[in-house]
Structure 1
Amino acid sequence: MKLGQLIKLERQRQNMKQEYLASGICVPSYLSRIENGLVTPSEDIQQHILMRLNIPLDSLQSDENPEKSLPFKPLFKTVINSRDKQKANKLLQDIHFYIVEHPLEPERLTLLLMETRLMLMLPEHTVEIQTNVAILEEFKKEMDTEQLFYLYTIQGIIAYQNNQFRQASEIFSQVFTLIKSYRMEDWEMAELYYISSLTLLSESRYILAIDYVKSALSYFNQEILIERSIECLVILGIAQKDTGVLKEALATYEKAKEISSKIESSKFNGMIEHNLGTCHSLLGNQKQALLHFQSSLDAKSKPNDSIVTILSIVKEYHKIIDIKNAKIWLEKGHELLDLLTENNRTFYYNHFAVYRAILFEEKNFILIFKKSLEYFESKQEYKYCSIYCYVLAKKLANDKQYKQATIYYELGFNYQLKQLKVSRWEELL
């Protein structure tokens, strides 16, 4: 990066207005030209700008070697591959201290991208992430292909974490288009395949999700990154389950369970047991399903993890018409809502609202369903919209409200078309 761009980046990082930085030094329009590389300021103006930014004047002479920041790149690779939060936090601190000592580092933009990517692994940095992404967007035109790769990847992960799955999928599609004529390193591609498979899974695009996760799995197996391989097997099993090949899915989960046992790790037990329960549920083995769900809960300690399995238990008891236990587990789910992150709280509140309306036969069940449908539609969760429209339509038909039932049967079909990304029923043929 050139001096003007570094000044702009540091000014924005400090949340300083152009007018304030320029005051008493030059007019704001001249500072804007400096920051955009249109003019080279005199030494006197340079010094005054740096002083106002609290940047030591000797930084101009000490930050001339663009290779200095390269030692961070191998460490960055190791952290991303391992997904070790302690290592991520340590590297984040090291990069921060380096920037403090070298504020005019020519590779500052790359370091900012690294910082932001590491912060995504550490939930306490939500505000800093938003600030960094806003700054990075300002430098989008100056970025090379590799930097754009990281920026889009960051934005895709943020969208995924906010349950904006369609937006995340679109961003990752842009990444694949971006790098068609550019060779990224194998570890970077593995991470892209892994993250993309998650978004595709959330969009029910299972075939492509399977292809991507197998590509990631191949790299992680080759590099003997066992925990990452287990994660990939879980994703693969989910895609297989959702495409109906349940025996293959069970075999995949059992393999993941076996590997996890061999390395004596309990990290993935909750996830694996939950998905084994889901497979047995679909196979009609309700007793076995509930045993796996209970094992999953026993292995989980965080409310945001436990709530997923509790909802599945509610569904399972409702499926076998054990209303008493379904209600008990529904209440357990409600007790956890206040302990969830904001996005998860709203998401599961709406699921539980639907089940409460069903299980307790609440009189205003139509209004409850409508509110939940509005929420899931706003999040483009068309799968749930379609399912709950069907449930509501069936309930209305049983109550002999046939006209209303017809409306929701049709609405459910339209949501299904949206989920499949088709605009006309003929495209289903």
Structure 2
Amino acid sequence: MLGQRIKELRKEKKLTQQELSKGIITRSYLSQIEQGLVQPSFDILEKLSLKLDCSVDTFFKTIENKDLLLSQVKKEIKTAENQIESNSYEKVEGFIQKKDYLVHKELNSYDRGILLWVHGKYYEHKKDYNHSLAFFEESITELESSKHTNEMLRSLDSLGYVHSQINNNEIALNLLNKAYRIMIYDQIQGVIRVSILVNLGIVHGKLKEYYSAINFLQEASDLNDKMGTYYKSGEIFMAMGICNMQLKRYKGAKDAYERALNFFKLSKNKYYQAGTYTNLGILSSYKKEYHQADLYLRTAINIYKSVGSKESEIMNVQVELARVYYLQEEYDKASSICHDVLQMEDVNKHTAQALELLGDICFKLSDIEDSLKHYNRAKDFLVTQSISCDHLCKKVADVYFSIGDYQKASDFYKECF
């Protein structure tokens, strides 16, 4: 509407009706124009446009309803938040592409904090951890300033989780401990409490604090039971299984893994199913149930291949399968799988593990030259990746000791320390 547009432009210039109309028309005539009661001539419009520092065309441009636009943006943010909460990441793709939302000046701290969290979770799902960390950190800042504790805790929990995924475990622990203290002080309940407890359990497990890890995980499981929910139940029992396996509580580990597998099957999460089968295979190997270990590990490999997983994930299971054959003294089968791993394009810690296992096989077969070659290749690789190789130095030393080269054996034993 022409009159409404002239009124908006006048207010943007901070002019009164008297100031704008002066020397052109009367104030009352301008008032009638703004109310849409009269239609001004082109000559009047041209003079008004000069005073408002715009063109006549500007008067006829479609007027945006800013309140309606902001309401629509907020609605889209809420929809994206719900889609992330329900793990519908594919539905958020289009929303993430709307980069202009991130610089929307009308958004308050709460809405901007949620918007940033949504972006962080999307990039976390894509395993683009650098971007997700930046979004979560900014989200925490926005939500802290607006005093929205539950949402801020969610972002803090997400930030801690991502740090744990890239093995910044000390940083993750500090962030999650902060979240835990706020959670206790403000008596926060619900799924955010479960999530913080689960992530604390996982980080404590990574730091080899298995007993405290199990306590956090059990508390999360108990809270789920109390609420009648199954939030992150698969992850809870998977982590419990790992901790129990490290503590050599094999029955407890198997029970936990089987419960985790049931939850992952219900949620149709193939990726986590494969991870659970891998851990069941490793557990069976520890218990010397080699036939069962073979079945579990081959199932894991088939699932990983069916969902197009990364080579590194398949290589991890292949090394474990090769180790099962090694323990049964089926050296040809073990060696063949190790060579398959070395043919992969991805080069990672599993490459070093395959080389180490080949060194073990050669040593068992008294092939000293090849044994040392494989051990040293594995050792050199770990050094370039800044990964400890003390155990390999000991193996090299043992080889030299076995052939009576005590000086070299001594030198490598010293390297262990």
TM-score, normalized by the shorter chain, greater than 0.5: yes
The corresponding residue for 2:210 is: 206
Residue type at the aligned position of 1:354? E
The corresponding residue for 1:318 is: 326
Do structure 1's residue 129 and structure 2's residue 138 form an aligned pair?
no
- 1:282 Cα deviation after fit: 0.6
The corresponding residue for 1:24 is: none
- 1:310 Cα deviation after fit: 0.8
Contact 1:240 1:249 in 2 (8 A): yes
More divergent stretch after superposition (276-285 vs 388-397): 388-397
Aligned equivalents of 2:144 and 2:406: distance in 1? 57
**CA RMSD in angstroms, aligned pairs only:** 4.2
- 1:284 Cα deviation after fit: 1.4
TM-score normalized by the length of structure 2: 0.66
Identity %: 13
Do structure 1's residue 350 and structure 2's residue 352 form an aligned pair?
yes
Structure 1 stretches of 5 or more lacking a match? Answer: 1-56, 339-344, 415-429
Structure 2 stretches of 5 or more lacking a match? Answer: 1-62, 363-369
Aligned equivalents of 1:403 and 1:84: distance in 2? 62
Contact 2:80 2:118 in 1 (8 A): no
Do structure 1's residue 306 and structure 2's residue 306 form an aligned pair?
no
The corresponding residue for 1:186 is: 190
- 1:220-369 matches, within 5 Å, as 220-221=224-225, 226=230, 228-258=232-262, 268-301=272-305, 302=309, 303-338=311-346, 345-359=347-361, 361-365=370-374, 367-369=376-378
- 1:312 Cα deviation after fit: 0.6
Residue type at the aligned position of 1:371? D
1:79 maps to which of 67, 84, 91: 84
- 1:92 Cα deviation after fit: 4.8
1:216 maps to which of 212, 217, 220: 220
Contact 1:63 1:106 in 2 (8 A): no
- 1:143 Cα deviation after fit: 7.2
Residue type at the aligned position of 1:237? G
- 1:276 Cα deviation after fit: 1.6
- 1:309 Cα deviation after fit: 0.9
Aligned equivalents of 2:266 and 2:152: distance in 1? 39
Partner deviation per Cα, 1:139-161 (whole Å, 9 max, x = no partner): 79957584664554344333233
1:165 maps to which of 160, 164, 169: 169
Contact 1:394 1:405 in 2 (8 A): yes
Aligned equivalents of 2:241 and 2:179: distance in 1? 25
SS at 2:106's partner residue? coil
- 1:164 Cα deviation after fit: 3.3
Partner deviation per Cα, 1:302-354 (whole Å, 9 max, x = no partner): 1343222112112222223322111211122233343xxxxxx4332333343
2:122 maps to which of 96, 119, 124: 119
SS at 2:344's partner residue? helix
Contact 1:89 1:118 in 2 (8 A): no
- 1:359 Cα deviation after fit: 4.2
Aligned equivalents of 1:139 and 1:72: distance in 2? 15
TM-score normalized by the length of structure 1: 0.64
More divergent stretch after superposition (208-217 vs 305-314): 208-217
Aligned equivalents of 1:98 and 1:373: distance in 2? 44
More divergent stretch after superposition (401-410 vs 168-177): 401-410
Aligned equivalents of 2:216 and 2:200: distance in 1? 7
Residue type at the aligned position of 2:399? K
Contact 1:116 1:154 in 2 (8 A): no
Which structure has more relative contact order (CA 8 Å, sep 6+)? It is: 1
Aligned residues: 343
Highest CA radius of gyration, 1 or 2?
2
